[in-house]
Structure 1
Amino acid sequence: ARKVMFVKHAAAYVVMPGGFGTLDELAEILTLVQTGKSPRIPILLVDSTFWSGLVDWLRASMAAQGTIDPDDLDLFSVVDKPEQVLEAIFAHYEGRGFEPSRAEREKLLQL
């Protein structure tokens, strides 16, 4: 229940280096956005050195073998500096506002 509420009320998801709990929460938000059960929000992985192995594996294994669509790799961004976190969040919402898009609303209503 905690994760559902966390995702439901988040305007952005900033993921710092962490352990299995962090990976669990990251997989949860990626899955919810990928499947349209949550509106698209900025998902930012902070510290490219830490996250590069996971991102490489997602690309070389999951996307290459067709278990995720290569476009799913665009659901998140990897950044290194606090300024990049803010820039990504502002860029996302300046272009679309805080409300779900019409397509997102329709998809959410079909669940």
Structure 2
Amino acid sequence: MAESTRVSPEELERREKYLRAGLREVNLMDPFTWSYPLKGAGVMVAIVPRLIGVAVMGAVGYGMGSLREHHYKTRDAVIQHYIELHPKDFDHFNDRCGRPFSQILLPWYPRRTQYTKYD
């Protein structure tokens, strides 16, 4: 090797110590200088609030679903009670035959482009 590329043993030792884990001075802005427990602490700290958040959101969703179900049950009970109190107003629902669809639906005249007449 040329003399210009030769590195002193002190420089080699300094470089090796710099690259080995745990031997560099701790810098808060450089996560590669943190110890291994501190590197995983962020994940462990972040997982607990997320689990609590998921549990809270699940409980809120379950509660809202229960409230919605209660609301619809109450509404149906009120409507059923009203129908029982005023049966004459709802006799047309009991008629199984009812009106034919020809009286309900409007006439439909298909206008298709393939049947257009050209003059």
Give the TM-score band, short-chain normalised.
under 0.3
Name the structure where helix makes up a greater proportion of residues. 2
Bigger relative CO (Cα 8 Å, ≥ 6 apart): 1
Q: Which has the larger radius of gyration?
A: 2
